[in-house]
Structure 1
Amino acid sequence: MRGVVRMDVIKTLADKRREKRWNFERKLLQDITLKDIEHQYKQTFASSLSKQFIDSPMLVDPSLDIGIDAYLLGAGYSRFYQYGENEQQAKSRAEDELTDLSFDMFNLLMCWTESGEHYGDQLGIACDVYVDQLWQKGFQMGAKRYRMKLH
């Protein structure tokens, strides 16, 4: 055994955690489709955006990205469910991230529309609703996976 050189791959704890989080997110993304998120987007912003803007790929694609981020954020915070927190308590933990996502969505949409003070308020509320609903879906799916021990 003198001539055998053994090369093992060393993984850090951070690498293992990142891999575990990616696997969890990958499994969660199998539970929702882009069509579901796009339907949520169109349903939420139908009254706030004109038809020409709502179907524009320049708006749909980044909006879906923000929706996916909100969904995965909710799923990530669902781990607190197994420690006895309810959805509202977990949501209060995620308030800063939810505000950032909602603000990003608002800025994206305001760049493509004629802005007015009243219109901006309506659009801001719609952005909050969009991010909140997808966060709730993610939280519920993540909590379900934790209950079923599929994490």
Structure 2
Amino acid sequence: MGMNVDFTLGEKRKEKQWKYQRSMLRTLSINDMKKDVQRRFFAHEGEETVSQLYLQDFCLDMGIDTFLLGAEFARFGYYGESEYKVMQRCPEEINAQIDQTVAQFTAWLNLDEAQANVYKDVATGYIYEWWRQGFDEGKKRYQLKLH
């Protein structure tokens, strides 16, 4: 007896998005992302503490989400919008990722306001970078698929 594959439109769209995300994740080097996290956030740290290990993982999660967000908006870039303009399409998501990252560092490392502001700059650079990488990879994918 064949399975009844009766997708609603929403489920079909979700499945398509999921497939796209999976294919995008294959292009992502978690190792490169780890190195970037090390370089940006932990360049001056000594041996790995529990909080550092937790924060590294947290940064990787944020980076992966951000990469996928960039990839999701890549079609606008493919159709001719500048990277800057496309970024303006998802400011809430991008700012939320920056703020969540800063909040985690602030909580785990007991940062004061001045220190938190330094981390905000670092987190902004990091989130922008991985959004951009997802955006670029997504654009490449559209070019391959549509030509």
TM-score > 0.5, shorter chain as reference: yes
Shift of the alpha carbon at 1:9? 2.1
Q: Give the distance between the partners of 2:6 and 2:71, measured in 1 at CA.
A: 29
Q: Considering only CA atoms, is the larger Rg found in Structure 1 or Structure 2?
A: 1
User: In the TM superposition, what are the counterparts of 1:89-108 in structure 2 within 5 Å?
Assistant: 89-108=85-104
Q: Give the distance between the partners of 2:61 and 2:4, measured in 1 at CA.
A: 37
Q: Give the distance between the partners of 2:121 and 2:49, measured in 1 at CA.
A: 18
2:27 matches 1:31: yes
2:45 matches 1:50: yes
2:140 matches 1:144: yes
Q: 1:28 to 1:7 in 2, by over 3 A?
A: closer
For structure 2, which runs of at least 5 residues remain unmatched after alignment? none
Q: Give the distance between the partners of 1:88 and 1:121, measured in 2 at CA.
A: 23
User: In the TM superposition, what are the counterparts of 1:1-151 in structure 2 within 5 Å?
Assistant: 8-46=4-42, 50-51=45-46, 52=48, 56-149=52-145
Q: Percent identity?
A: 30
Q: Give the distance between the partners of 1:83 and 1:75, measured in 2 at CA.
A: 14
Shift of the alpha carbon at 1:111? 1.1
Runs of 4+ off more than 6 Å: none
Using structure 2 for the length normalisation, give the TM-score. Answer: 0.89
Is the CA contact (8 Å cut-off) linking 2:102 and 2:123 kept in structure 1? Answer: yes
Q: Give the distance between the partners of 2:138 and 2:130, measured in 1 at CA.
A: 12
For structure 1, which runs of at least 5 residues remain unmatched after alignment? none
C-alpha RMSD over aligned residues: 2.1
